[in-house]
Amino acid sequence: MFVHYESSDSDMISLLSSRMNFWGYSTINFFSPMTRYSSAGTRNCGRDAINEFKLLVREAHKRGIEVFMDVVFNHTAEGNEKGPILSFRGLDNSVYYMVAPKGEFYNYSGCGNTFNCNHPVVRQFIVDCLRYWVLEMHVDGFRFDLASIMTRGSSLCDAANVFGSPMEGDLLTTGTPLGSPPLIDMISNDPVLRDVKLIAEAWDAGGLYQVGTFPHWCIWSEWNGKYRDVVRQFIKGTDGFSGAFAECLCGSPNLYQAGGRKPWNSINFVCAHDGFSLADLVTYTNKHNLANGENNNDGENHNNSWNCGQEGEFASIFVKKLRKRQMRNFFLCLMVSQFVQQETRRLEVCHCG
């Protein structure tokens, strides 16, 4: 799964060391692939990097492998209202971002700004971008990072269209969740995009959680975050999760049976590209991110993990054997669950790399 061209700068990390922000996810150019994935000979030549990406997709298709883009339309690398002018801020700040009356940015992304996805100009930009990746680069689908931001209203909206509970007391505010978001409607009915695979990370950093309720037009799949949480709780032995675990094994019908969707609309996963790896789940009960320079504030606090009796990598032989058994249990659960399993390399090898 590939991402847009993004900034590898991180103020906190660059001040502390020479390490690069490996994480990324701070988009600069939505129409360009991340050159870090290209061969050394093409990294400084955009056209060659694009051609190399097309070659990769073509060769993958020859082998029956589909290629997905991990797209980040919830924020950009320009940061909060005090951030640098790199692109959209200089074009029209109030069009491309959700801006509060006093000029500060709404921050539903957790990254300082929120892309104004349902503004007419912005949603057309997003659709044009997605069509480019399908028609020109021939990708087979998209995973939308923090996709719930794409359901938030760009300005005052009709209360009858409100979906769920808004984040502010006033129903008619910027960022109100919509029942029929114009952007999701456009994507779902576009003659090109409706035929590719669409996967929503159905939550955002502003507290909106739509797993099982994301506006879907019967074609969107979802990262099943509830599957992840239930399986982690069950495997570590938390009481009261046997019924929920059984539903997870059966494709989460409690979430996807209504509204015309099927079990394959659930993307089941235990670990992903972010958060704890499989090894972390059985090694740490608490996160340890102090080296990132953010006082351990970054990353999820509720990982439903268990260290098997000893915190950290150095442990007794008994604990290490138990950890290996637990990792196999996680993998088995994923393999026997209906319907779509998401595996990452960090799941296959139990850690990053």
Say if residue 85 is exposed, middle or buried (CB neighbours under 10 Å; 0-12, 13-18, 19+). exposed
β-pairing, 197-200 vs 220-223, is parallel
pLDDT at 194 over 90: yes
Q: Answer yes or no: is 259 within a domain.
A: no
Q: What are phi and psi of 292, to 5 degrees?
A: -75, -10
* Angle 330-332-338 from CA coordinates, rounded to 5°: 105
Closest by Cα among 261, 185, 255, 182 to 219: 261
Neighbours of 14 (CB within 10 A): 14
pLDDT of the residue at 10: 44
pLDDT at 49 over 70: yes
Q: Is 201 tagged catalytic? A: yes
pTM of the model: 0.87
pLDDT of the residue at 222: 95
Q: Answer yes or no: is 132 within a domain.
A: yes
pLDDT at 43 over 80: no
Q: Per DSSP, which regions of the chain are E strands?
A: 2-6, 27-33, 68-71, 141-144, 197-200, 220-223, 266-268, 340-341
CA atoms within 13 A on the CB side of 95: 12
Q: Answer yes or no: is 177 within a domain.
A: yes
Domain residue limits at 22: 2-33+66-223
Determine if residue 311 is left, alpha or beta; phi over 0 gives left, psi from -120 to 50 gives alpha, anything else beta: beta
Q: Are 188 and 219 in contact (CB under 8 A)?
A: yes
Return d(Cα 22, Cα 8) in angstroms, integer.
7
Q: Which residue has the higher pLDDT, 9 or 312?
A: 312
Q: Answer yes or no: is 190 within a domain.
A: yes
Closest by Cα among 252, 196, 258, 243 to 223: 252
Neighbours of 163 (CB within 10 A): 20
Q: Is 145 tagged catalytic? A: yes
Return d(Cα 279, Cα 282) in angstroms, integer.
6
The H or E element spanning position 95 is helix 88-96
Please give the mean pLDDT across all residues of the chain. 86
DSSP-derived secondary structure letter, 334: H
Counted domains in the chain: 1
Sheet holding 197-200, edge to edge: 27-33, 2-6, 68-71, 141-144, 197-200, 220-223, 266-268, 340-341
* Residue tagged active-site, from 6, 52, 78, 145: 145
Find which of 20-29, 188-197, 259-268 is predicted with most confidence, using mean pLDDT: 188-197
Return d(Cα 320, Cα 333) in angstroms, integer.
20
Angstrom CA distances, 296 to 13, 80, 234, stand at 13, 21, 27
Please say whether the dihedral angle defined by the alpha carbons of residues 302, 253, 206 and 219, taken in this order, is positive or negative.
Answer: positive
Q: Answer yes or no: is 106 within a domain.
A: yes
Categorize the per-residue pLDDT at 20 as very low, low, confident or very high, splitting at 50, 70 and 90: low
Pick the range with the lowest mean pLDDT from 139-143, 180-184, 203-207, 299-303.
299-303
What six digits make up the tokens of 186? 């456009």
Return d(Cα 254, Cα 275) in angstroms, integer.
26
* Three-class secondary structure of residue 137 per DSSP: coil
pLDDT at 346 over 70: no
**β-bridge partners, 199:** 143, 221
Return d(Cα 162, Cα 212) in angstroms, integer.
17
The H or E element spanning position 51 is helix 46-62
Say if residue 81 is exposed, middle or buried (CB neighbours under 10 Å; 0-12, 13-18, 19+). middle
* Residue tagged active-site, from 52, 201, 204, 280: 201
**pLDDT 10s digits, 98-127:** 998 888 999 999 999 999 999 999 999 999
- Residue 145 belongs to a domain with what CATH number? 3.20.20.80
Q: Answer yes or no: is 95 within a domain.
A: yes
Return d(Cα 245, Cα 248) in angstroms, integer.
5
